[in-house]
Structure 1
Amino acid sequence: MRAEQTNDPGDSPRERMRRVAAVAAEFADAVDREGRFPAETVAALKRERLLGVAVPVALGGEGLGIRDVADLVVQLGQACGSSAMIYAMHQIKTSSLVMHGTDSAWHRAFMQRAADEQLLLASATTEAGIGGNLRHSLCAVETKDGRFSLTKEATVISYGMHADAILATARRAPEAEGSDQVLVVIPADENRSLERTSVWDTLGMRGTCSDGFHLVAEGDAAQILPKPFSEIAAQSMLASSHVFWASAWFAIAADAFARAQAFVKQAARKQPNAMPPGALRLSEAAAKLQEMKGHLGAAIARYEAALGDEEALSTMAFAAEINALKVASSEKAAEVVRHAMLVTGILGYKNGTPFSVGRHLRDVTSAAVMISNDRILTNTSTMLLMSRFDTTLGD
């Protein structure tokens, strides 16, 4: 069933996201306090037809590129961190379909349906027994007579109970190695069941509702993407994950900075002849925020330049650059928010004030553990043993 758009369809995605962000801001504190799914935000995203913006125009979407989508994540993230992370993760899954599903009739039809019905896509890549190793699976797809079946103990499926489809990783077959993986699209229908096995009760990002699930699914074997997951991960999922996650963290830091800036401005108006105590730390925070913005923009440009070139997307140098974005952004975002709290003092520490940044601080602590920085640095160190660091400053 087509999701109806109630506003002017001629409005730009940015204008439509502005309206969604207003809804998200209204409910952000309640979503965080209650640890509940931001249903109002997702309803607004569907109403404004912003879930399918990256789907090709020929399949009913708007064909937005990674930079435009990242900008939408930043807009939303300044209103609600959980909402932005949900939107980012949805767009990561969409990017995998767009880059690797266009040669498959089933996946083209699914993308068309996703854009038409504004489907929310989730991911099931983690699994009991493998830790956070994205590139290893214990569960396996079994295929017979053109059908597949899959059972997975997923330790985390963000917003799984609310998703319209889940993209799950698994071994290609029961006899396959753990790294020989495929990605399967599993719509929410009678062929899929989810049994909750753990509850998402966390410090931050509480609204993502990333519960654990016993996932059982079956369906048409055509739902398995034709490319190996190793290629999907290297050529789209790695880069889009780090870019969109970094966009969400940048947005959280930017909103915390804006609150600190408003605090300093208020203090300056009260004492126009004296420099407010927090002004120096505000300048330090601004420098760190600018570093984040510059790094994110450079990474997006690097990704855009490599798009369409599978060899370039699969190089160790590219992976190392994108890994660096994730680690640096996660660390810088937390630094900016901590500076904002020092600037705003007790009014930033307290909930319910115009300068509150407690939710921001708790949300941004997730950045270092969404895939562990230590795991990423370990992977990068291996790459650096086999590649040279590019010192050129031009293209």
Structure 2
Amino acid sequence: MGTDRAETGTDRGAGTEADPGTGTGTPAGTAAPTTAVDLVAPVLREHAAAHDERATFPRESVAALRRHGLMGLLVPSEYGGTGAGLAAFVEVAQGLSGHCLSTGQIWAMHCFQVDAIVRHGTPALKAALLPRIAAGEVYIGSVTSERGRRADLFSADAPLDAGSGGDRLTLERDAPVVTGGDHADGYLITMRASPTARPHEVSLVYADRTDLQIETAGEWDALGMRATESIGMKLKGTVPAHNVVGVPGRFADVARQSMVPLSHLGWSACWLGAARGALRDLLRWQAASGGGRGRDGGPSELSSERIGRVRISLELVSAYLTRVREEVERARSGGSGMDGPRGQIQLNTLKIAAADLTFEAVDRMVQIAGLRTGYLKNSELALERHFRDLRSASLNHANDALTVGVGALSMLDRGVTLI
């Protein structure tokens, strides 16, 4: 792991049209998002298995995303980005994840951070950072975990310190898990707002990699999602005070209006995209190999029933994802968030349903394909990898905790206003 990181740590800023390896030139950001997905898909498919095997960051795939303008999908056009909305975000997340779920999730999590900066960043931060993101120069890692603290997005122990001047903020953070952290060009970090602030008075601050001293710790040897290379990191440095995103101490507002809705939409889209891609490959394999045939040469009833159940699961996830995305868009257009009981129930339900149903679908696909084609690592299908990757979905912000939240929030919506 340590050797792999040393060898691949030069991919930051890579992926421009003039020189894909140096980070100079102009990104090819003129392609429509769906066209860009088609352009990068062969790269993702080529490298997915190798990075899964080695548990290393998919540097070639992320370089392709940089090169074709996808890192700036949510950056407004005035800063050089695509200026796309949530429909394009969900569609691209699905498209990428159909070829490599780790790459799709790395990209989606980057977009969560970008949206927070676009909607809540200071004018100075947006002017300095957003054009760099649009140019493919900056991949942002998310630092919300904290060693020694239970998983709680809305609290932090390590404080920001303004010192005597106030124009620079000092931070020191020990995070046990940072997705793609060793390859990020910058980080959005949750910190206690000040040394005297309470644990739930949390600020979100952007730190450029060049402003930090960084140590990595541990290895990422997981069952699935191996190419996310989600290692531990210690970050220490100073940043400009205008790098605080949102009102100091009010990170909860930023999270509820931006990061939480996008994370549930993005994760669900990624999981759906992976399961959808797996079904597409399975159906093509059956057509080419004659698998699932009955005695009369047509599809057997058993095979059709199994495929039908998989398809129903994916249709349900897709439909609910679309409706929740529309609800988020409606809330944003009205200047509000999804922080009421009904909105929170919908977001949590989306995440729970997508995690459960997509994993269930891939589990069924393994059964359909059988031992040799569905279960073996060296199969021509990647069902074994999809199975391991999607097993993580219910653990990523644990489903059981979210289900408890749905139950508690339901007591505040006794009229049961369904979506």
Do they fold alike, i.e. is TM over 0.5? yes
- Please identify, of 106-115 and 357-366, the stretch whose mean Cα deviation from structure 2 is larger: 106-115
Cα distance in 2 for residues equivalent to 1:392 and 1:270: 42
Cα distance in 1 for residues equivalent to 2:228 and 2:29: 28
The CA RMSD measured in Å over matched residues stands at 2.0
**Native 8 Å contact 1:52 1:118 kept in 2:** no
Cα distance in 2 for residues equivalent to 1:166 and 1:184: 8
The residue that corresponds to 1:273 in the other structure is 297
The residue that corresponds to 1:44 in the other structure is 64
Indicate whether 1:292 and 2:313 are aligned: no
The residue that corresponds to 1:27 in the other structure is 47
Cα distance in 2 for residues equivalent to 1:147 and 1:391: 47
**Native 8 Å contact 1:104 1:226 kept in 2:** no
The residue that corresponds to 1:96 in the other structure is 116
One-letter identity of the residue aligned with 1:380: V
Q: CA deviation at 1:136?
A: 1.1
The answer for unaligned runs of 5 or more in structure 2 is: 1-12, 19-26
The residue that corresponds to 2:387 in the other structure is 361
The residue that corresponds to 1:142 in the other structure is 161
Alignment of 1:257-268 (within 5 A): 257-265=279-287, 266-267=290-291
Cα distance in 1 for residues equivalent to 2:15 and 2:43: 18
Q: CA deviation at 1:263?
A: 3.9
| Counterpart pick for 1:108 among 127, 132, 136 | 127
One-letter identity of the residue aligned with 2:168: R
The residue that corresponds to 1:318 in the other structure is 343
The residue that corresponds to 1:204 in the other structure is 224
The residue that corresponds to 1:253 in the other structure is 275
Cα distance in 2 for residues equivalent to 1:19 and 1:297: 25
Cα distance in 1 for residues equivalent to 2:337 and 2:298: 54
Cα distance in 1 for residues equivalent to 2:292 and 2:394: 35
Q: CA deviation at 1:379?
A: 2.6
The residue that corresponds to 2:172 in the other structure is 151
Relative to 1, partners in 2 of residues 1:354 and 1:192: Cα closer, same or farther, differing over 3 Å?
Answer: same
Q: CA deviation at 1:365?
A: 0.8
The residue that corresponds to 2:16 in the other structure is 4
Indicate whether 1:119 and 2:138 are aligned: yes
Cα distance in 2 for residues equivalent to 1:8 and 1:174: 44
Cα distance in 1 for residues equivalent to 2:72 and 2:322: 23
TM-score for both structures, normalised by structure 1: 0.94
**Native 8 Å contact 1:170 1:183 kept in 2:** yes
Matched position secondary structure for 1:143:
coil
**Native 8 Å contact 1:2 1:116 kept in 2:** no
One-letter identity of the residue aligned with 1:82: S
Relative to 1, partners in 2 of residues 1:357 and 1:56: Cα closer, same or farther, differing over 3 Å?
Answer: same
Indicate whether 1:57 and 2:77 are aligned: yes
Identity of aligned residues (%): 27
Relative to 1, partners in 2 of residues 1:381 and 1:200: Cα closer, same or farther, differing over 3 Å?
Answer: same
Q: CA deviation at 1:197?
A: 2.2
Cα distance in 1 for residues equivalent to 2:243 and 2:332: 24
Relative to 1, partners in 2 of residues 1:218 and 1:10: Cα closer, same or farther, differing over 3 Å?
Answer: closer
Q: CA deviation at 1:98?
A: 1.3
Matched position secondary structure for 2:162:
strand
- Please identify, of 68-77 and 345-354, the stretch whose mean Cα deviation from structure 2 is larger: 345-354
Cα distance in 2 for residues equivalent to 1:47 and 1:244: 21
TM-score for both structures, normalised by structure 2: 0.89
| Counterpart pick for 1:15 among 35, 47, 58 | 35
The residue that corresponds to 1:224 in the other structure is 244
The residue that corresponds to 2:376 in the other structure is 350
Cα distance in 2 for residues equivalent to 1:218 and 1:360: 40
For residues 32-75 of structure 1, what are the alpha-carbon distances to aligned partners after superposition, in whole Å with 9 as ceiling and x for unaligned? Answer: 01111101101111111110121011111111011101111111
The residue that corresponds to 2:149 in the other structure is 130
Relative to 1, partners in 2 of residues 1:271 and 1:240: Cα closer, same or farther, differing over 3 Å?
Answer: same
Q: CA deviation at 1:88?
A: 0.8
The residue that corresponds to 2:188 in the other structure is 167
